[in-house]
C-alpha cells in the first residue's frame, strides 16, 4: 500500500495546478486567476511501488459559479520518457526529494491501474491516509468488456469537459475501449450530458463543492470516469 508522508512540497500541488489548469482545453475559465482548492479524491497503488497515483478533485471559484475539476496525477522520482507534454511541474518533497508530477491521463501506470479498478482487480485507497481502503469509491464494468491482461494506452485526447483515453486490453486483435475522464465534475442528476446511459461502466466518487449550502462540508457524488466503445 502507498505510504502517505506528512511533509512539505514546494511548490505545492495546488500552486502548480493554478498555472497548469488554464492551459487545458476543458478549463472553464472565469473572470479571475485560478485559485484551486482541494475538494476530494482517492488514490490507487502502483504494484511496483514506484509511482504515486492520485485522482484529485479541486474546485475553482466561489458559490454557484464554482467549478469542480478532476485532475488525475502521478508522482515519479525521475522523468517519464516521452511524456514532456504531460508534465505539470516538479516539486521538492520533504522526504522523497524531487518529484516529477504528470497529468495521469498520459501515464501508463495510472491508466493501467484505472482499468484494473474498473475490472475489479484494484482497490481504491483513501486520499490522505496510508493503507486505508476508500469505501466511497464505486467502480463497475460490463462483464463483456472485462478482459484478462493489462490495459495498453493508445492515445489520450482532451475534449470539452473531458479527456478520452483509448486503451487496448488483450492483445492487438482486441477492440479498443475509451476511458472517459470527466474533467468537469457534476453531481449525479445535475445538468449536463454525461453519457452514462450508453456507458459500459465507470467510477463514481465523492467531492465537496465550494461554498456548500449553509457553510457545511456536504459531499456530493458523481461520475469520475465512464467507459465506452470507440
1 belongs to a structural domain? no
Average confidence (pLDDT) over 116-143: 94
110-124 pLDDT per residue, tens: 999 999 999 999 999
- Name beta bridge partners: 57: 40, 70
Q: Is the per-residue pLDDT at 138 higher than 60?
A: yes
Average confidence (pLDDT) over 67-90: 97
Q: Is the per-residue pLDDT at 91 higher than 60?
A: yes
2 belongs to a structural domain? no
How far apart, in whole angstroms, are the C-alpha atoms of residue 148 and residue 160?
Answer: 32
Residue of 167 and 9 predicted with greater confidence: 167
How far apart, in whole angstroms, are the C-alpha atoms of residue 132 and residue 89?
Answer: 28
19 belongs to a structural domain? yes
Short-list 66, 72, 63, CA closest to 20: 72
Of 1-10, 35-44, 127-136, the poorest mean pLDDT is in 1-10
Q: For residue 3, name the pLDDT band (cuts at 50, 70, 90).
A: low
Q: For residue 76, name the pLDDT band (cuts at 50, 70, 90).
A: very high
121 belongs to a structural domain? yes
Domain that holds residue 38: 9-228
204 belongs to a structural domain? yes
54 belongs to a structural domain? yes
| pLDDT (0 to 100) of residue 190 | 55
How far apart, in whole angstroms, are the C-alpha atoms of residue 203 and residue 30?
Answer: 28
Mean pLDDT of the chain: 89
Q: Is the per-residue pLDDT at 214 higher than 50?
A: no
Q: For residue 168, name the pLDDT band (cuts at 50, 70, 90).
A: very high
Q: Is the per-residue pLDDT at 86 higher than 50?
A: yes
109 belongs to a structural domain? yes
| Number of domains the chain contains | 1
Overall residue count recorded for the chain in this entry: 230
Percent of the chain with pLDDT over 70: 90
Q: Is the per-residue pLDDT at 7 higher than 80?
A: no
Q: Is the per-residue pLDDT at 194 higher than 50?
A: no
Question: Going by DSSP bridges, is the β-strand pair 97-103/37-44 parallel, antiparallel, or unpaired?
Answer: unpaired
3 belongs to a structural domain? no
Amino acid at each position: 500500500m502507498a505510504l502517505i508522508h506528512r511533509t512539505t512540497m514546494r511548490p505545492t500541488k495546488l500552486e502548480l495546478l493554478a498555472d497548469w489548469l488554464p492551459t487545458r482545453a476543458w478549463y472553464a475559465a472565469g473572470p479571475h486567476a485560478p485559485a484551486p482548492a482541494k475538494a476530494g479524491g482517492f488514490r490507487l497503488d502502483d504494484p511496483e511501488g514506484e509511482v504515486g497515483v492520485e485522482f484529485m478533485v479541486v474546485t475553482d471559484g466561489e458559490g454557484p459559479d464554482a467549478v469542480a475539476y478532476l485532475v488525475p496525477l502521478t508522482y515519479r522520482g525521475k522523468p517519464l520518457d516521452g511524456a514532456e507534454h504531460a508534465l505539470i511541474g516538479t516539486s521538492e518533497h520533504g522526504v522523497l526529494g524531487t518529484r516529477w508530477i504528470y497529468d495521469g491521463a498520459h501515464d501508463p501506470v495510472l491508466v493501467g491501474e484505472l482499468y484494473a479498478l474498473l475490472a475489479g482487480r484494484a482497490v481504491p485507497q483513501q486520499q490522505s491516509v496510508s493503507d486505508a481502503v476508500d469505501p466511497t469509491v464505486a467502480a463497475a464494468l460490463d462483464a463483456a468488456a472485462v478482459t484478462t491482461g493489462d490495459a495498453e494506452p493508445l492515445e489520450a485526447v482532451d475534449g470539452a469537459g473531458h479527456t478520452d483515453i483509448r486503451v487496448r486490453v488483450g492483445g492487438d486483435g482486441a477492440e479498443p475501449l475509451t476511458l472517459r475522464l470527466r474533467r468537469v465534475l457534476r453531481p449525479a442528476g445535475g445538468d449536463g450530458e454525461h453519457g452514462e446511459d450508453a456507458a459500459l461502466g465507470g467510477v463514481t466518487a465523492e467531492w465537496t463543492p465550494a461554498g456548500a449550502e449553509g457553510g457545511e462540508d456536504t459531499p456530493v457524488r458523481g461520475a469520475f470516469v465512464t467507459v465506452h466503445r470507440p
